[in-house]
């Protein structure tokens, strides 16, 4: 991992076009697939939370992938696509059987999606056994066996790592850390607390450690806010998403600590912002995407998304859109070299260079198979007649 704001700034401003993914696809012909879907068809399996706490996130993952297909004649690599969607639910108990059906019964050529880090870990043995590329499109924990594993989103500790130096600079005093007690929460908060301590920051938590809230059953955060009020905290850092983010933000605005600056990962991202309303105003967040980034690829993506959904696009939708774009190029490259199979698609992904994207240009790192990309500070502010996550500044470039 590394910090380089100058690179981040160049990446954000670099003009990019999603159309670049389609270059040369018309020449793709005649190679067979092992999926049984037909010589000119590829099967893609998408697993996302379409029920439960993270339904808003999973819904955007599905919609982002579908948007790419809708705007590219329902083809990837010049081939027709059969997209098969399955429900991840709230984690491994539902994610594993969903992915198992896609891989073993439907015999998909590639797997994408997965909201939760715990789901990713649970599905990895299936991916490795079947030798099928998994192109994750949400936060992912650090894993050892990467041969068939990629992500177009980020490693789960990166958001906190990216914003920690900024929080240390802006907050005059200790910061209280709080998050959900599951794999994604552990990763997200560890990224912040480790980096915050490294740059000289101090946690306001009485034991110097993150406070964990039971997931997914915690809906009343008021007792936790009362405890924070008893400390000398000058700000709060947290990670929540989906319904938990709505509950957290609304109750925070009504609590005894409402005047403390709130720095977050994901709390205001997506449809939850509309549900939070004025309670979300002024909340800071760190993400690898902001809907108002000024580059050609984002202008097209945001316009296409808004025309279909009448809302601003999210990082979840963007990362899934990029997953489709990566597969578009990889399938085309695999076809040029021979048969299109899960193994040749995976090999082609490994050979991709810089990728143009709505977030700005990025590329897969060799060590983690995750994007080397810019991270941005956003704040909830009025944008016309509604609230939006407005980009404030570059924070860092991370990846590996």
CA–CA dist 207, 268 (Å, integer)? 28
CB atoms within 10 A of CB 373: 29
**Strand, helix or coil at 114?**
coil
| Per-residue pLDDT at 289 | 96
Q: 138-172, pLDDT tens digit by residue? A: 998 888 899 999 999 999 999 999 999 999 999 99
Q: Which stretch of DSSP H or E encloses residue 111?
A: strand 110-113
Q: Would you give the distance in Å from CA 2 to the centre of its chain? A: 19
Local confidence pLDDT in tens for the 400 residues of the chain: 333 333 333 333 333 333 343 333 333 333 334 444 446 899 999 999 999 989 999 999 999 999 999 999 999 999 999 999 999 999 999 999 999 999 999 999 999 999 998 999 999 999 999 999 999 999 988 888 999 999 999 999 999 999 999 999 999 999 999 999 998 899 999 999 999 999 999 999 999 999 999 999 999 999 999 999 999 999 999 999 989 999 999 999 999 999 999 999 999 998 899 999 999 999 999 999 999 999 999 999 999 999 999 889 999 999 999 999 999 999 999 999 889 999 999 999 999 999 999 999 999 999 999 999 999 999 999 988 889 999 999 999 998 7
**Strand, helix or coil at 63?**
helix
CA–CA dist 267, 269 (Å, integer)? 6
Peptide bond into 216 cis (omega under 30): yes
Give the bridge partners for 176, in sequence order: 236
Q: Which stretch of DSSP H or E encloses residue 397?
A: strand 386-398
End-to-end distance of the chain based on CA atoms, in angstroms? Answer: 6
> What is the b/e burial string over 217-244, where b = at least 16 CB atoms within 10 angstroms of the residue's CB?
ebeebeebbeebeeeebbbbbbbbbbbb
**Strand, helix or coil at 262?**
strand
pTM summary value: 0.85
| Per-residue pLDDT at 242 | 87
> What is the b/e burial string over 3-26, where b = at least 16 CB atoms within 10 angstroms of the residue's CB?
eeeebbeebbeeebebeebbeebe
Task: Please answer whether residues 112 and 104 qualify as being in contact, where contact means their C-beta atoms are separated by less than 8 angstroms.
Answer: no
| Per-residue pLDDT at 400 | 73
**Strand, helix or coil at 74?**
coil
| Per-residue pLDDT at 39 | 65
Task: Please answer whether residues 126 and 99 qualify as being in contact, where contact means their C-beta atoms are separated by less than 8 angstroms.
Answer: yes
In 310-396, where does DSSP find H-type helix? 315-337, 342-350
| Per-residue pLDDT at 88 | 97
pLDDT, the chain, mean = 90
| Per-residue pLDDT at 269 | 93
- Which residue do the tokens 């964990």 mark? 212
């Amino acid at each position: 991992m590394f910090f380089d704001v100058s690179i981040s700034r160049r990446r954000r401003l670099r003009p990019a076009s999603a159309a670049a993914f389609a270059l040369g696809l018309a020449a793709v012909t005649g190679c067979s697939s092992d999926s049984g879907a037909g010589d000119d068809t590829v099967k893609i399996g998408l697993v996302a939370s379409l029920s439960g706490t993270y339904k808003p996130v999973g819904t955007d993952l599905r919609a982002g992938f579908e948007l790419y297909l809708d705007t590219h004649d329902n083809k990837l690599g010049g081939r027709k696509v059969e997209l098969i969607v399955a429900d991840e639910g709230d984690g491994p108990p539902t994610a594993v059987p969903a992915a198992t059906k896609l891989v073993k019964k439907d015999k998909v050529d590639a797997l994408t999606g997965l909201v939760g880090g715990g789901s990713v870990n649970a599905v990895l043995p299936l991916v490795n056994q079947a030798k099928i590329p998994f192109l994750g499109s949400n936060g992912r924990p650090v894993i050892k066996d990467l041969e068939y594993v990629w992500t177009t989103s980020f490693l789960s500790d990166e958001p906190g790592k990216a914003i920690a130096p900024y929080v240390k600079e802006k907050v005059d005093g200790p910061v209280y850390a709080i998050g959900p007690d599951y794999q994604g929460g552990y990763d997200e908060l560890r990224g912040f607390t480790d980096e915050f301590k490294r740059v000289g920051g101090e946690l306001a938590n009485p034991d110097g450690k993150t406070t964990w809230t039971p997931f997914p059953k915690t809906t009343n955060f008021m007792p936790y806010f009362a405890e924070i009020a008893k400390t000398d905290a000058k700000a709060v850092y947290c990670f929540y998403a989906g319904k938990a983010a709505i509950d957290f933000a609304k109750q925070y605005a009504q609590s005894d600590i409402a005047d403390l600056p709130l720095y977050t990962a994901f709390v205001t991202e997506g449809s939850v912002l509309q549900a939070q309303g004025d309670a979300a105003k002024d909340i800071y967040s760190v993400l690898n995407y902001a809907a108002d980034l000024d580059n050609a690829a984002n202008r097209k993506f945001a316009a296409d998304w808004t025309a279909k959904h009448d809302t601003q696009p999210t990082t979840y939708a963007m990362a899934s859109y990029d997953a489709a774009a990566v597969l578009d190029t990889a399938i085309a490259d695999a076809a040029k070299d021979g048969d299109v199979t899960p193994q040749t698609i995976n090999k082609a992904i490994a050979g991709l260079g810089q990728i143009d994207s709505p977030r700005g240009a990025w590329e897969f790192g060799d060590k983690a198979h995750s994007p080397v990309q810019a991270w941005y500070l956003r704040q909830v502010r009025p944008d016309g007649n509604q609230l939006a996550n407005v980009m404030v500044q570059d924070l860092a470039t991370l990846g590996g």
